[in-house]
Amino acid sequence: MSFKSNYFDWWLILPAVLLVILGLAIIRSVFPVLVPFQLAFAIAAAVAFILTALVDYKIFQALHLPIYISSLVFLITPFIFGLHSRGALRWLQFGQISIQPSELIRPFLLLAFVTMSTRWRIIAFIIPALIIFFQPDLGTTLVLTVGWLTVFLSNFSFRHTMLTGLAVFFLAAPLLWFIIKPYQRDRILTFVNPYSDPLDRGYQVIQSVITVGSGQFWGRGLGQGTQSQLRFLPERHTDFIFASLSEELGFVGAAFTLILFLIIMWRIYLLSQYATNPVVTLYALGTLTMLSFQIWVNIGMNLGLAPITGITLPFVSYGGSSLVSLGLTLGILTSMNRQTSPSSFQIK
What pLDDT is recorded for position 1? 39
What DSSP string describes 280-321? HHHHHHHHHHHHHHHHHHHHHHHTTSS----PPPTTTSS-HH
What per-residue confidence (pLDDT) applies to 156?
A: 67
Does any domain span residue 4?
A: no
| DSSP secondary structure code for residue 220 in this structure | S
Q: How far out from the chain centre does Cα 325 lie?
A: 9
pLDDT of 102 reads 94
Across the beta sheet with 88-94, the strand order is 83-85, 88-94, 97-99
Instruction: Report yes or no on 5 lying in a domain.
Output: no
Report the pLDDT value the prediction gives residue 225, as an integer from 0 to 100: 86
Alpha-carbon distance of 268 to 286, in angstroms, equals 10
pLDDT value at position 162?
A: 65
- Asked whether residue 202 is domain-assigned, the answer is yes
In angstroms, what is the C-alpha Rg of the chain?
A: 20
pLDDT at residue number 12: 95
Q: Which domain holds residue 276?
A: 10-345
pTM for the full predicted model: 0.90
Burial, 91: exposed, middle or buried (Cβ in 10 Å; 0-12, 13-18, 19+)? buried
pLDDT at 178: 67
Task: Please check whether residue 186 lies inside any domain of the structure.
Answer: yes
Looking at the domain assignment, is residue 41 inside a domain? yes
Provide the number of structural domains found in the chain: 1
Mean pLDDT by 10 residues, the chain (348 residues): 63 96 96 95 97 93 94 94 79 87 95 88 92 90 92 72 67 68 70 70 85 91 86 89 95 97 96 91 95 95 87 95 97 88 45
Q: How many residues does the chain have?
A: 348
Residue 204 lies in a domain: yes
What is the DSSP track for 37-71?
Answer: HHHHHHHHHHHHHHHHHTS-HHHHHHTHHHHHHHH
Residue 3 belongs to a domain: no
pLDDT of residue 170: 66
Assess if residue 304 is contained within a domain: yes
Can you tell me the distance from the alpha carbon of 328 to that of 117, in angstroms, rounded to the nearest whole number? 23
